[in-house]
A and B are shown apart, each in its own frame.
Chain A
Amino acid sequence: MTAPSAASATAPSSSAPVLSVRDLRVSFSSRRGRAPVVTGVDLDVHAGETLAIVGESGSGKSVSMLAVLGLLPSHAVVEGSVEVDGEQVLGAGPERMRALRGREVGMVFQDPMTSLNPVLTIGRQVTEGLEERLGLSRRAARDRAAELLALVGIRDPQARLDNYPHQFSGGMRQRVMIAIGLSLDPAVLIADEPTTALDVTTQAQILDLVQDLQDRLGTAVVWVSHDLGVVAGIADRVVVMYSGEIVEQAPVDALYATPQHPYTRGLLGALPVLGERRAELATIAGLPPDPVARPSGCWFAPRCPIRAQACVTAHPPLREVGPGHLARTLCEVAP
């Protein structure tokens, strides 16, 4: 085994990121006023790296990625900077964004049942981009599509091209989505909860598949999940989001070994450990704040078990607590 922690800690400085997000802000207008759901997110993703973004419903993790892909509804207000391979794409027109999606930034979403068109063959759906975007002939596109299905571990790919989505299991459909996500050879693949709807054994296969493909193709992967258990084995670095902002970011080993933010610690404590019967799991009391009315200090303070006086007055900045390890805390957490 290599030492991924050491590699990932140095990787950020060794090459230019393929995806670079700066001060990303997204807000929606609601009946009760403007709701800032992403409030200044910075991310860098490097070639060959897997960055996990973890958070609960409403943390802003998916909205951030939809903003990168230019897939938010037009009433969303998006500000900041999104650079793909050094090119500013935030604010680019719909045509440029269509060209970007799939080609430079691939995507795989949670539910393969709804992302595939039920009335078109799998072959049609895989070859569509190859023909229209890469200009391959119908014949060449079909051959390439079969190669892609083989790449994601689908047996008898030539014959399977003529099948419809309902003839595939959930796991197989998600493999097809990954094949489509990678079909135009993007520099970055954004995977948003791609295994949440799958069984554990199928999930394990998909996690391994994405890692294998990444090793072979050098694609950068952004893996969005609500589950710190799922990303432990695949991430090089982990970003934890809470109420629209990053609260902690670290190389994977450091995050699990020495989590600094009370929220991260809460998330880890809430996971049942396999084969362990404890009287009680740690929980995080309360609910995340309403984005229209966040508290004045640390946004986690109302739920925090170690809240101090300073926490309710000042909103803490993201500060360095270790090599490549940032945490948005005022508190010092005992190791």
Chain B
Amino acid sequence: MSGLLVVEDLQVHFGGRRGAEPVKAVDRVSLAVERGQTLGLVGESGSGKSTTGLALLRLVEPTGGRVELDGIDVRAAGRRELRGLRRRMAMVFQDPYASLNPRRTVGDSVAEPLEVHGLHRDDRRGRVRELFSLVGLADDFVDRHPHELSGGQRQRVGIARALAVEPDLLVLDEPIASLDVSVQAQVLNLLVRLQRELGLAYLFIAHDLAAVAHVSDTVAVMNRGRIVEQGDAQEVYRAPQHEYTRALLAAVPQPDPAAERARRAERRALVAELAQD
């Protein structure tokens, strides 16, 4: 496989000592993210999608498999090298409130990765303001605290913080799940614009298939630690091959009353089938 990020047979197993069966949170996952493109990683809670994201940055240590960023072996990287790699792939979390220090101004939070990596020593405040403007926040937000911001504004700060180190790849873990619908659209639009302007690659991890389809070039569907289906986003949605993908798609509520009523019978049949596994 080629690509900016190439993952082969990634494994994250927990426990399993003294002969106990390990929990295979991530089980032989292979995927690739191309430069400037988006891979949507879809699954429900417990599917292993978030653990996969954490394992790529070694925020959780993989127990097997290969992870390569631009040809560099992430698993073999020493501390120094790993720090360099974490400049090239950054993470955005679901709950911006929990990932920002409530006592620091959001400007300081965005400056923090610059300090850690020793970047822009001469003009950090200038760089922070640049990042704020990049994500559509006015200058005066720099001096505010997280509680003074709305959920959407906080997520913009989370994105600015991830962009501070000028990464090639953003791992976005449920970046819109805790936002109101209209604000979700704003953040999705922002992500699409940033990708276009900065040539970023995204691993977009989410349970919301409609949002994923909206931003993704390719999609991987995860269930119980494994990828059950992977391919071109439009193709996966138009002609899902795996029954789990079909059940997921059938469960997504759509704002069309007649279509929803018509889909109800189909949806219930599939869900019932799946529940018997």
Please report A residues at the B interface, Cβ cutoff 8 Å.
1, 4-5, 56-57, 170, 199-205, 207-208, 211, 226-230, 232-233, 235, 252-253, 256, 266-284, 287
Whether B82 is near chain A, meaning CB under 8 Å from some CB there, is no
| Bitwise interface map of B from 180 to 207 toward A, beta carbon under 8 Å scored 1, else 0 | 1110111011001000000000000001
Name 9 A/B residue pairs within 8 A (Cβ), A-sorted: A56-B181, A57-B180, A201-B271, A205-B271, A253-B258, A275-B210, A277-B216, A279-B192, A284-B182
**Which parts of B262-277 form the interface with A (CB within 8 Å)?**
262-264, 267-268, 271, 274-275
> Taking chain B's interface residues, is the majority helix, strand, or loop, or is none over half, making it mixed?
helix
Of B57-65, B89-97, B247-255, the segment with at least 4 beta carbons within 8 Å of chain A is: B247-255
* Cα A29 to Cα B209 with chains together (Å): 41
Knowing A273-B210, A284-B182, the reply to whether A232 touches B254 (Cβ < 8 A) is yes
Knowing A201-B274, A204-B267, A283-B182, the reply to whether A274 touches B249 (Cβ < 8 A) is yes
Whether B237 is near chain A, meaning CB under 8 Å from some CB there, is yes
- Contact present for A274 and B237 (CB under 8 Å): yes
The distance from the CB of A27 to the nearest CB of chain B, in whole angstroms, is: 22
- Contact present for B238 and A275 (CB under 8 Å): yes
Residues of A within 8 A of B181 (CB): 56, 226-228, 267, 270-271
- Contact present for A275 and B234 (CB under 8 Å): yes
Whether B140 is near chain A, meaning CB under 8 Å from some CB there, is no
Knowing A201-B271, A275-B238, the reply to whether A283 touches B255 (Cβ < 8 A) is no
- Contact present for B271 and A277 (CB under 8 Å): no
* Cα A140 to Cα B221 with chains together (Å): 47
Whether B101 is near chain A, meaning CB under 8 Å from some CB there, is no
Total contacts A-B at CB 8 Å: 133
Further 4 A-B residue pairs, CB within 8 A, beyond A200-B252, A232-B255, A277-B233: A57-B180, A227-B253, A270-B182, A277-B216
| Residue of A201, A272, A282 touching B248 (CB-CB under 8 A) | A201
Whether B260 is near chain A, meaning CB under 8 Å from some CB there, is yes
* Cα A152 to Cα B193 with chains together (Å): 45
The distance from the CB of B152 to the nearest CB of chain A, in whole angstroms, is: 9
The distance from the CB of B222 to the nearest CB of chain A, in whole angstroms, is: 12
* Cα A278 to Cα B210 with chains together (Å): 11
- Contact present for A201 and B251 (CB under 8 Å): yes
Whether B54 is near chain A, meaning CB under 8 Å from some CB there, is no
The distance from the CB of A35 to the nearest CB of chain B, in whole angstroms, is: 17
Please report B residues at the A interface, Cβ cutoff 8 Å.
44-45, 150-151, 180-182, 184-186, 188-189, 192, 207-211, 213-216, 233-234, 237-238, 247-258, 260-264, 267-268, 271, 274-275
Knowing A201-B271, A272-B213, A275-B237, the reply to whether A228 touches B184 (Cβ < 8 A) is no
Query: Which 6 A-B pairs give the minimum distances between C-beta atoms?
Result: A233-B260, A275-B237, A270-B185, A199-B44, A204-B251, A281-B185
- Contact present for A277 and B257 (CB under 8 Å): no
- Contact present for B248 and A1 (CB under 8 Å): no
Residues of A within 8 A of B258 (CB): 253
Knowing A204-B271, A205-B271, A281-B189, the reply to whether A272 touches B210 (Cβ < 8 A) is yes
- Contact present for A1 and B209 (CB under 8 Å): no
Residues of B within 8 A of A253 (CB): 257-258
- Contact present for B209 and A232 (CB under 8 Å): no
Residues of A within 8 A of B151 (CB): 57
* Cα A218 to Cα B188 with chains together (Å): 41
* Cα A281 to Cα B211 with chains together (Å): 10
**Chain B residue with minimal CB distance to A238?**
B257
* Cα A230 to Cα B210 with chains together (Å): 13
Knowing A201-B248, A276-B213, A277-B213, the reply to whether A207 touches B257 (Cβ < 8 A) is no
* Cα A282 to Cα B181 with chains together (Å): 11
- Contact present for B185 and A282 (CB under 8 Å): yes
Knowing A56-B180, A228-B181, the reply to whether A273 touches B254 (Cβ < 8 A) is yes
Residues of B within 8 A of A268 (CB): 255
Residues of B within 8 A of A229 (CB): 210, 252-255
The distance from the CB of B85 to the nearest CB of chain A, in whole angstroms, is: 30
**Chain A residue with minimal CB distance to B196?**
A279
| Residue of A203, A282, A287 touching B251 (CB-CB under 8 A) | A203
- Contact present for B44 and A200 (CB under 8 Å): yes
- Contact present for B214 and A199 (CB under 8 Å): no
- Contact present for B192 and A274 (CB under 8 Å): no
| Residue of B182, B213, B214, B253 touching A203 (CB-CB under 8 A) | B253
Residues of B within 8 A of A274 (CB): 209-210, 213, 237, 249, 252, 254
Residues of B within 8 A of A204 (CB): 250-251, 253, 267-268, 271
Knowing A200-B44, A201-B247, the reply to whether A281 touches B214 (Cβ < 8 A) is yes
Knowing A56-B182, A208-B267, the reply to whether A200 touches B189 (Cβ < 8 A) is no
Residues of B within 8 A of A227 (CB): 181, 253
Residues of A within 8 A of B211 (CB): 272
**Chain B residue with minimal CB distance to A200?**
B251
**Chain A residue with minimal CB distance to B217?**
A277
- Contact present for A281 and B188 (CB under 8 Å): yes
**Chain B residue with minimal CB distance to A273?**
B210
Knowing A56-B181, A274-B209, the reply to whether A232 touches B260 (Cβ < 8 A) is yes
**Chain A residue with minimal CB distance to B184?**
A270
Residues of B within 8 A of A211 (CB): 264
- Contact present for B261 and A4 (CB under 8 Å): yes
